[in-house]
Amino acid sequence: MNNDVPPVEALIVVDVQSAFVTGDGAVPDAVRLLDRTTDLIARARRSGALVVHLQNDGPSGADDEPHTPGWELHHPVEAGTTEVVIRKPEDDGFVRTSLGSLLTDSGVKALAVCGVMSEMCVQATARTALALGYRVVLPHDAHATQNIPAAPGISGAVPAAVVSRVAEWALGSDVEITAHAADVHFTALSPSGPR
């Protein structure tokens, strides 16, 4: 884990939607997650970095089915040239979305990723960002997931904290994992901003 990392120009907030952070379906320790993502968003805004809220479009009947209460983003969005919402149909925020072109057009070289779920949408989005050549910072305390229930004949229950740590580890040595969201620093987009 690296606690002294250079700043990034973008923050990708993955699926911080009501279904996953409030009520009965909330990830364990959702209060901590929301505290960290709130702080990251506020600091990214103040610095002039790009803030991208990814919003998952779940299937019909899912907790995150579009235009249902669970689908709504938890954090208020200050929409503008440096803060956008991108809806996504897949785990990976780059698949069938404008995320890749937005990052390219904005001149982003380095980004931080936070949100839910660690082993699904967070990991998939971070993995593609790494494959595309971005420097990726993943704050350990700013992503979360659910406990994995026991599977008879396979394993006992797996605590969410373990799942999140394994998801980080599986990204390999190129991802920059910081212990705390507070260790992530931001810098403004280039003066030309998004083109």
Q: Which residues are catalytic?
A: 121
Residue 156: count other Cβ atoms within 10 Å of its Cβ: 10
Closest CA to 164 of 182, 142, 181: 142
Q: Which helix (H) or strand (E) holds 19?
A: helix 18-21
Please state whether the peptide bond connecting residue 117 to the residue before it is cis, i.e. omega within 30 degrees of 0. yes
In the DSSP assignment, the letter for residue 12 is E
Cα four-point dihedral sign 2, 103, 84, 14: negative
Among 134, 131, 163, 153, smallest CA distance to 11 is for: 134
